[in-house]
Amino acid sequence: MIDARIDAAKEHYGAAPELTPVAVTRWTARLVDPRVEQDYLLYRFADDRRRVLFLTGLVAIASTLNFLVSYATNAPSFAATLIPAIAGIVLPIIGFGIALRLRSPHLLQTVMVIAVLVGTLTRLSMLTLRPDTADMWMTLMVGIVFVIYLYLPIRLAGSVAVAALFSCVAPYWWLQVLGDVLTPDVFYRGLVWLFLANALGFTAANSLQRSQRMQYAQGLVMRHLLSTDAMTGIANRRRFDAALEREWRRCRRAGAPLSLLMIDVDHFKAYNDYCGHPQGDACLRQLAQVLVDTIKRPGDVVARYGGEEFVVLMPEIGAAGALAVANKLAAALRQADISHPRSPAGPRMTISIGAATAKKLTGEPASLVEFADKLLYAAKAAGRNQVAVGQLTPADPTARAA
């Protein structure tokens, strides 16, 4: 489910977006584009949750072993050992169960902040009940700070806030519990180590989170470049094929129709021969922009199929809707008023469209492309500047054309 949401977030029907997602803020270590930051959190969610499950499970196991050793060797009082041990075992198990059911990265971060606060208070309470473990305070404080910065799946700003709160509460608690026993030099040494732990933890967490986001964003850019037509800036054949496979499976599961428009520029070779290839490329870019501006649904995919051929993939659109969109595209091109000085059909550029719809999706998605191609040739054979509509039926692979 998470992967599907990520793929849906990455798909875009229009022109190529700017490559700004690579930028990461210096001090907060977040992707500048909020949408890409959200996609990154979704991308990391499964790994972050596994890390939380591992941590809570490890804490529960360590607390269990510590309780068994302490009870077997010292057999202390109930309040001094059993209550802290039960809390150290039960609370991580509860946290494990909660983390297992989470499905949102934001909810996971919220739960982890609460868990850190509860766990810290629990651990400090344990040390309060066991003053003989005072020598563990400094190690405990430094260790918790590093865990907050480097292990918990929390954004850097949240890690700084939680670590700062802990760095204020823990020394004060330490001072109140030990009182006169705690010498000033030991206390100040603890503050120095706590400050260094925060400085090193922040530096390491900032570097780690920035590098992870940069790597993710650069991967997105690379995927986009590989799936974008260099000349027109819209999706290329590779991206269209992937979208067709994905939408074919999705519409088949949902029982929804899937429509495809196969679009060809009429007499484009004559245009190229007369105006030259640079002008021909500019014309195709202008046509691609017309298609993108006309197709408004985010789930639709506009792509260059090859040469002067374009395709529009429209999930959950029936034959009537495909015909309406095809007529809308032809009208938008007429309004764009692109000159074609060598067209037998007139002085303006026109397109022929094959509009194919699969209502009951069986077999392979390539059958829809083949059928749309046949409809396109039917439109061209009928005189060009026309739309041929048909519905692909499972009983007849050649289907029927209207």
Least confident interval from 67-71, 170-174, 327-331, 354-358: 67-71
Q: Does 389 have pLDDT greater than 90?
A: yes
Mean pLDDT of 371-390: 93
Would you place residue 56 in the very low, low, confident or very high pLDDT band (cuts 50, 70, 90)? Answer: confident
Among the three residues 181, 197, 225, which one is the final residue of a domain in this structure? 225
Q: Does 352 have pLDDT greater than 60?
A: yes
For residues 178 and 41, state if they share a domain: yes
CA distances from 367 to 94, 362, 383, 396, 399 (A): 52, 9, 25, 11, 10
Query: Which residues are CB-contacts of 102 (< 8 A; sequence separation ≥ 6)?
Result: 49, 108, 111
Mean pLDDT of 143-162: 91
Give the per-residue pLDDT at 84: 62
Least confident interval from 120-124, 309-313, 384-388: 120-124
Q: Does 16 have pLDDT greater than 60?
A: no
CATH number for 334: 3.30.70.270
Would you place residue 14 in the very low, low, confident or very high pLDDT band (cuts 50, 70, 90)? Answer: very low
Give the per-residue pLDDT at 22: 66
Would you place residue 304 in the very low, low, confident or very high pLDDT band (cuts 50, 70, 90)? Answer: very high
The whole-angstrom separation of Cα 357 and Cα 368 is 7
* Phi, psi (degrees; rounded to nearest 5) at 286: -65, -40
Q: Per the structure block, which two tokens stand in for 163?
A: 């670590």
Q: Does 366 have pLDDT greater than 70?
A: yes
In a domain, 199, yes or no: yes
Of these ranges, 13-27, 81-95, 178-192, 253-267, the one predicted with the greatest mean pLDDT is: 253-267
For residues 142 and 25, state if they share a domain: yes
Would you place residue 80 in the very low, low, confident or very high pLDDT band (cuts 50, 70, 90)? Answer: low
- Categorise residue 348: left if φ over 0, alpha if ψ from -120 to 50, beta otherwise: beta
The whole-angstrom separation of Cα 356 and Cα 400 is 10
For residues 33 and 171, state if they share a domain: yes
For residues 148 and 261, state if they share a domain: no
Domain count, the chain: 2
In a domain, 230, yes or no: no
In a domain, 5, yes or no: no
For residues 49 and 178, state if they share a domain: yes
| Length of the chain measured in residues | 402
User: What percentage of the chain has pLDDT greater than the value 70?
Assistant: 87
Among the three residues 196, 225, 254, which one is the final residue of a domain in this structure? 225
Q: Per the structure block, which two tokens stand in for 96?
A: 């494990």
For residues 207 and 87, state if they share a domain: yes
For residues 307 and 349, state if they share a domain: yes
The whole-angstrom separation of Cα 34 and Cα 261 is 33
For residues 27 and 168, state if they share a domain: yes
For residues 290 and 348, state if they share a domain: yes
> DSSP readout, 97-127?
HHHHH---HHHHHHHHHHHHHHHHHHHHHHH
For residues 283 and 156, state if they share a domain: no
In a domain, 11, yes or no: no
Give the per-residue pLDDT at 133: 66
More confident residue, 92 or 123: 92
Closest Cα to residue 374, out of 345, 353, 395?
353
In a domain, 131, yes or no: yes
Pairing of strands 258-265, 301-306: unpaired
Mean pLDDT of 265-276: 88
> DSSP readout, 151-171?
TS---HHHHHHHHHHHHHHHH
In a domain, 231, yes or no: no
In a domain, 3, yes or no: no
Domain interval for residue 76: 17-225
In a domain, 84, yes or no: yes
Among the three residues 167, 196, 225, which one is the final residue of a domain in this structure? 225
Q: Does 8 have pLDDT greater than 50?
A: no
Alpha-carbon 249 to chain mean position: 20
For residues 200 and 344, state if they share a domain: no
Query: Which residues are CB-contacts of 234 (< 8 A; sequence separation ≥ 6)?
Result: 14, 15, 16, 228, 288, 291, 292, 302, 303, 304
Of these ranges, 8-12, 18-22, 55-59, 77-81, the one predicted with the greatest mean pLDDT is: 55-59
For residues 328 and 397, state if they share a domain: yes
Mean pLDDT of 104-125: 86
